[in-house]
Amino acid sequence: MTMDQKDHQIVRALLQDGRLTNQDLAARVNLSPSPCLRRVRLLEERGVIKGYAALVDQKAYGFPLTIFVGIKLDGHGKLNVRQFEERVATIEEILDCFLMTGDIDYLLRVVAPDLEGYERFVRETLHMIPGVASIDTSFAYGVVKQSRIFPMP
């Protein structure tokens, strides 16, 4: 889908506040309500807007630790990769999984309630995934910037 400047403004406004009413959104992007709603529905239908969610403070929710986990597989055959990716997709503690270039195959963003919880996660979950050759863990001890709002093109 080709997006114009107005579509980008709509998406950006919804990223900043997903609870905007159509009336408020239309005013923010300088459209009348009917064309604004048509554009939002088209963005949803075409999969640009995939859904709406609340932003939750992970500490308040009970998962204060953010851990970045580098994974190397012991082989890159289709079965090995498929099994790993299918299993990772089902694990709730893994919030993001990126396929990487370089020294590691995957980079995971994991949350945990505490060090013991992370240790349990590694022993009982990550080690149980077939084909994992190595696990490299880095703990985030602070957040400098975290954004879900894309830049304007």
- What are the boundaries of each domain within the chain? 5-45, 58-140
- DSSP 8-state secondary structure symbol assigned to residue 147: -
CB 112 within 8 A of CB 65: yes
pLDDT tens digits for the chain (153 residues)? 799 999 999 999 999 999 999 999 999 999 999 999 999 999 999 999 999 999 999 999 999 999 999 999 999 999 999 999 999 999 999 999 999 999 999 999 999 999 999 999 999 999 999 999 999 999 999 999 999 999 998
Residue 117 is predicted with a pLDDT of: 98
| CATH number of the 5-45 domain | 1.10.10.10
Closest C-alpha among 1, 5, 2 to residue 153: 5
CA–CA gap between residue 11 and residue 17 (Å, rounded):
10
Q: Fold for domain 58-140?
A: Alpha-Beta Plaits (3.30.70)
Q: What is the pTM of this model?
A: 0.89
C-alpha 57/C-alpha 39 separation (Å) is 31
